[in-house]
Amino acid sequence: MNIVVSISGTGTNLKALLDVKKENYLKSDTVVVASNKNAVGLDSTREFNVGASVSKDNEEIIKCLRLKNVNLIVLAGFLPKISKRIINELTIVNIHPSLLPKYGGEGCCGTYIHEKVSANKEKASGATAYLVSEELDDEDILLQKSVDISDRRSEDGIAKEVLRTEHGIPKDAIKKLEEDSYTR
């Protein structure tokens, strides 16, 4: 599969995925990184010599994805809503920093999730990769990795621990799609 990784922020998940290039762990390749803004995470594209595309315009994004023969989108901390047209045309995997269905749905992202997890004194948290469909809550879970947070109650500690765990998710979600011979 030809992959586009979409980011809006620091891109540590992107970096973790690009690091795997050296190991030949995946048959698929990240051929381009897309962002809606000049995100810090785009720095990794220079390090790994991967193309970058910065645009807020759906038509422009679709043109770029076609040009690169992209057939899988990995959303790794990408904030804007994805257009229905793109959802219907391509397979999209989103990485979410909670053990869905817990702490999912409208408004559940980043720091807010970790605050809630901490306030609710959860003993475990983690991250989930799921296939995106038109309904925000209609998750088709590909894989989850959980982390024991029973000794870490601050939201910062939880966030760090979850992010560390999350870094293993994109590569294993893609591996799973490869093993299932997932095509669209």
The contact set with ligand GRF (CB under 6 A) reads 7, 9-13, 41, 76-77, 95-97, 109-110, 163, 166
In the complex, which residue's CB is closest to ligand GRF?
A: 77
Q: Which is nearer to ligand GRF, 97 or 177 (CB)?
A: 97
What is the spatial distance between Cα 58 and Cα 108, in angstroms, rounded to a whole number? 24
CB contact at 8 A, 29 and 2: yes
Q: Provide the token pair at 90.
A: 């391509």
CB contact at 8 A, 14 and 35: no
Could you confirm whether 167 is annotated as catalytic? Answer: no
Q: Which is nearer to ligand GRF, 4 or 59 (CB)?
A: 4
In the bound complex, what is the minimum distance in angstroms from residue 110's beta carbon to ligand GRF? 5
Q: Which is nearer to ligand GRF, 15 or 91 (CB)?
A: 15
Length of the chain: 184
In the bound complex, what is the minimum distance in angstroms from residue 8's beta carbon to ligand GRF? 7
42-49 long-range contacts (CB < 8 A, ≥24 apart) are 42/7, 42/11, 43/11, 44/11, 44/14, 44/15, 44/18, 47/18, 48/18, 48/21
Q: Catalytic: which of 96, 114, 167, 171?
A: 96
Q: Which is nearer to ligand GRF, 59 or 117 (CB)?
A: 117
In the bound complex, what is the minimum distance in angstroms from residue 95's beta carbon to ligand GRF? 5
In the bound complex, what is the minimum distance in angstroms from residue 65's beta carbon to ligand GRF? 20
| Residues taking part in catalysis | 96
